[in-house]
Amino acid sequence: MILSFRFYISAAIFAITLLLVIKKPKNIGIGYSALIGAAASYALGMINFSSVIAVWNIVWNATFTFIAIILISLALDEAGVFKYAALKMARMAEGHETLLFLFIIILGSRISAIFANDGTALILTPIVYEMLVNMNVERKYILPFIMATGFIADSASLPLSVSNLVNIVSTTYFHISFLSYARMMILPDLVSIAASLGILYIFYRKTIISHYATQTLGNPREAIRSPLIAKMSVPVIIVLIILYSVGGIYDVPIAFISVAVAAFVMISARSSGDIDTVKIIREAPWQIVIFSFGMYLVVYGLGLNGLTELMVFLLSHIVSLPGPLPYVFSGYFFAFLASSMNNMPSVMLGALSISSIHNANYLIYTNVIGNDIGPKFTPIGSLATLLWLHTLDRKNGIKIGYGYYMKVGFIIALPVLTFTLLSLYLL
């Protein structure tokens, strides 16, 4: 097929926008870089006002849900809930670092499931680092735990529609209820977690020391800074899951539920007097919200001008393959797209393409899996990874090189992605 000149203009705008996001000249925020790209697309006629409305209709639910979930998770973090859980697990491991490695991955997977992958990257990473430093673990032995936390943030973000912005966009676009989505993705999520745990351990087993000192660990109860919010944490999670489930039956957008619960938590946190809610709002990752919308507009222009048509052409050939190959190769295709352009715009392009292909509903889920796990191939693949790298650098002074990250990402993510896609085929 022949691509138009407009396609190459859109591709150039996208490439320049991505370069600005990666390089951050003059420390410009990633959100502003994406807005510059969106403005260029609009000014050059690659998109118009109706495109802006179309993109907003696709992403508003995910955007408001993301903001709400992050505010809830930050409030619980300020209350000391996640640090309490991490210290509890460290004590349960009784000085055995392999057990601690296992427990941290399990904790990260549960945080990702309920509070989204970005919540794990934003909250658990600094807690794990601080805890290991306090246990006098050498810096070189901390790396496996940090990498495992970053990896599991994405690879365990499959089970619920709220576990990843990718999931929200896809379920909103295809009108999939909370429970219907969960029924399809629970098994792939368990396979992804098990594969992640096994492969991460095999890769880092020589740099995980056998024992660590527990006497320097603080009392978990001392981590709680707001007893009121800490006691509310489990009921809030239960209420969220129930409301998401019931809301799905009546087609209530999950953003309405998430925002209402977030408002309740923030009001409770403020009234407790133990938590600075203004600080929480100020430190929330607003740049990611701006980035999402701006990059969506840039990539929507790319899709309008030929990329979506090209994707439909390629996917039509993939779905004609025998056995599990359509599941595996479509997942690889979506993963490659996500790792090269970021999974937020990638999942939207995938959804637009899938809607033009008949009798291949499984592509909805291979698109989600590819865009949840595939981004681990590159640092730009997911917002959670960008947030994770930023948190490591800003709070802990740890810089992880792109070359090292991509090497580890490819070795670990490819088999995890493959096993997860095969588990979907077996359903």
As averages over each run of 10 residues, the pLDDT of the chain (427 residues) reads: 84 91 83 94 95 91 89 92 88 84 92 86 83 80 89 94 92 93 96 96 84 75 92 92 89 92 95 91 84 89 92 95 96 95 89 90 97 91 77 73 89 97 95
DSSP string of 300-368, one letter each residue: HHHIIIIIHHHHHHHHHHHTTS-TTHHHHHHHHHHHHHHHHH-HHHHHHHHHHHHTTSSS-THHHHHHH
Residue 18: per-residue pLDDT: 85
Quote the CA–CA distance of 81 and 234 in Å, as a whole number. 10
Quote the CA–CA distance of 31 and 267 in Å, as a whole number. 28
Both tokens assigned to 126: 């600094």
Quote the CA–CA distance of 155 and 408 in Å, as a whole number. 14
User: 133 near 142, Cβ under 8 Å?
Assistant: yes
User: 393 near 399, Cβ under 8 Å?
Assistant: yes
User: 268 near 312, Cβ under 8 Å?
Assistant: no
Phi then psi for residue 96, to 5 deg, are -90, 110
User: 80 near 226, Cβ under 8 Å?
Assistant: yes
User: 378 near 403, Cβ under 8 Å?
Assistant: no
User: 374 near 338, Cβ under 8 Å?
Assistant: yes
User: 108 near 152, Cβ under 8 Å?
Assistant: yes
User: 284 near 75, Cβ under 8 Å?
Assistant: no
User: 198 near 58, Cβ under 8 Å?
Assistant: no
Handedness of CA 334, 338, 344, 348 (dihedral sign): negative
Q: How many CB atoms lie within 10 A of CB 36?
A: 18
Quote the CA–CA distance of 301 and 341 in Å, as a whole number. 14
Reduced to 3 states (helix: H, G, I; strand: E, B; else coil), residue 211 is: strand
Reduced to 3 states (helix: H, G, I; strand: E, B; else coil), residue 96 is: strand
Closest Cα partner for 346 from 321, 383, 313, 320?
Answer: 383
Residue 1: per-residue pLDDT: 62
Residue 217: per-residue pLDDT: 75
For the chain, helix, strand, coil in percent to 5 are 80, 0, 20
Quote the CA–CA distance of 73 and 111 in Å, as a whole number. 9
Residue 319's contacts (CB-CB under 8 Å, 6 or more residues apart) are 326, 330, 357, 360, 363
Ordered by start, the domain boundaries in the chain are 5-426
Residue 38's contacts (CB-CB under 8 Å, 6 or more residues apart) are 47, 293, 294, 295, 297, 298
Residue 210: per-residue pLDDT: 67
Residue 144's contacts (CB-CB under 8 Å, 6 or more residues apart) are 101, 200, 204, 207, 208
Residue 337: per-residue pLDDT: 93
Quote the CA–CA distance of 375 and 257 in Å, as a whole number. 28
Residue 396: per-residue pLDDT: 65
User: 166 near 344, Cβ under 8 Å?
Assistant: yes
